[in-house]
């Protein structure tokens, strides 16, 4: 964003005159395309006004491979940031080899009622995950996993996350777990409750998990 701002600032001064020698071909091509669009659009008989500073700066920034990044995950009214696999990647983890595991479990959020005697629940607010294996439970921290998702979202400005980045492996003395999320949510660090409402406080979480209880045979 800093590079984009600097280029726009320079181009506000006599249409990029200071850096024009470096981008002469780019600006000439942009000028020709802009003039063509002016001639074919509804210009209401007005004379062509020339290449705007904004259009010139955009052409230069595009050539350099930089683009505006909007920090959507810092909108203050949104309590959670929702990410998911792309449409063409949904369930791309199937089929699964379950030969080394005891159980296939559903993964839900703490806002969902228990789907079965054995399942995995994710507490997004506390960034923990709990395996409920019958009468036994074990809790793991998933702060590192959430940190990686947040970094991916901020660097790409996309809510679509590659499937392999939504996979989580956890190992302890009691369990070995492999989770495949289709959708996930994490806390927005800039959330302001005063600017929110009930519709901005919900979250999405969906996945399945392969679980191996090390005290049992596969």
Residue-wise pLDDT for 79-94, tens only, equals 888 888 865 556 666 7
Same domain, 200 and 137: yes
Of 133, 138, 103, residue with least CA distance to 118: 133
Same domain, 54 and 99: no
**Does the residue 175 lie in any domain?**
yes
Residue 97 has pLDDT above 90, yes or no: no
Residue with tokens 């839900």: 108
**Does the residue 70 lie in any domain?**
no
| pLDDT value for 193 | 74
DSSP-derived letter for residue 46 is: P
Same domain, 107 and 198: yes
Of 204, 134, 212, 137, residue with least CA distance to 169: 212
Same domain, 203 and 133: yes
**Does the residue 134 lie in any domain?**
yes
pLDDT band at 144 (very low <50, low <70, confident <90, very high): very high
Same domain, 39 and 81: no
Determine contact, residues 85/161, Cβ cutoff 8 Å.
Answer: yes
Computed over every residue of the chain, the mean pLDDT equals 76
Same domain, 25 and 116: no
Residue 132 has pLDDT above 80, yes or no: yes
Q: Is the pTM of this model over 0.85?
A: no
């Amino acid at each position: 964003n800093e590079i984009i701002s600097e280029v726009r600032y320079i181009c506000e001064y006599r249409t990029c005159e200071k850096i024009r020698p470096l981008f002469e071909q780019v600006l000439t091509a942009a000028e020709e395309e802009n003039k063509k669009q002016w001639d074919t659009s509804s210009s209401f008989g007005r004379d062509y006004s020339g290449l705007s500073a904004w259009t010139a700066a955009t052409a230069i920034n595009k050539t350099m491979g930089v683009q505006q990044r909007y920090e959507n995950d810092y909108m203050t009214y949104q309590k959670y940031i929702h990410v998911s696999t792309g449409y063409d990647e949904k369930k791309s983890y199937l089929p699964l080899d379950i030969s080394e595991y005891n159980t296939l479990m559903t993964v839900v959020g703490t806002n969902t009622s228990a789907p079965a005697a054995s399942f995995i629940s994710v507490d997004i607010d506390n960034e923990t995950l709990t395996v409920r294996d019958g009468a036994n439970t074990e809790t793991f921290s998933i702060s590192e996993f959430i940190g990686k998702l947040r970094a991916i979202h901020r660097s790409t400005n996309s809510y679509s996350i590659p499937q392999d980045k939504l996979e989580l492996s956890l190992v302890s003395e009691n369990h070995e777990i492999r989770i495949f999320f289709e959708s996930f949510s994490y806390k927005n660090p800039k959330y302001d409750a005063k600017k929110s409402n009930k519709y901005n406080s919900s979250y999405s979480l969906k996945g399945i998990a392969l679980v191996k209880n090390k005290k049992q045979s596969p």
